[in-house]
Structure 1
Amino acid sequence: MSRVCDLTGKSAMKGHNVSNSNVKTKRKFYPNLQLKKFYIPEEDRWITLKVSTSALKTINKNGISSCIQKFLKKGYI
């Protein structure tokens, strides 16, 4: 199960842990993903998506149908 947002395509970034002695060790910064169920009234069905919290805020503001159409148009899905 990959850690990628289904709508925006956000995935893990690479970086370093930096200690007090300035020794750098590799680490990953994972996106804040949540598994959520959404109801689509046009299709009269529920879908389950793994979305980032920033995508959740966008869905709450604009609605799931318009967000899916927008992300399809941009090519994220």
Structure 2
Amino acid sequence: MARVCSIRGSRVRSGGRINRSGLAKKKGGIGRHVTKVVKRKVAPNLQTKRIWVPELGRFVRVKLSARALKTVTKNGAYTVLKEAGII
């Protein structure tokens, strides 16, 4: 299964990790320099949860990010899932 949040649509993004060398000028060196940039992946914090929807009277299993879980808690399960097109 893809690593995608079913509510927000957050997915794996690519980024760069920067390696630096040298001593900062402030500390008496000649300055910091970038020596290498390495590609890396930034994955969302995904959870598989069973969410109780009182309006339907049943559980709904969804794969969502931690941010989306906070949204569900704040706005209510039925509203958020309906808006996302899951139910």
Q: TM-score per shorter chain, which class?
A: 0.7 to 0.9
Consecutive unaligned residues in structure 2, runs of 5 or more: 22-33
Larger radius of gyration: 2
The alignment-based identity, stated in percent, is 38
Q: What is the count of residue pairs matched by the alignment?
A: 73
2:81 to 65, 68, 76: 68
Q: TM-score, normalised by structure 2?
A: 0.75
Q: Which residue of structure 2 aligns with residue 33 of structure 1?
A: 46
Question: Hey, what's the Cα distance between the residues in 2 that align with 1:58 and 1:43?
Answer: 19
- Structure 1: gaps spanning 5 or more residues: none
TM-score (norm 1): 0.84
How far apart in 2 are the matches of 1:43 and 1:58? Answer: 19
Displacement after TM superposition at 1:71 (Å): 2.4
Q: Secondary structure at the match of 2:20?
A: coil
> RMSD in angstroms over aligned alpha carbons?
1.4
Matched ranges for 1:1-77 at <5 A:
1-21=1-21, 22=34, 23-72=36-85
Whole-angstrom distance in 2 between the partners of 1:49 and 1:36:
6
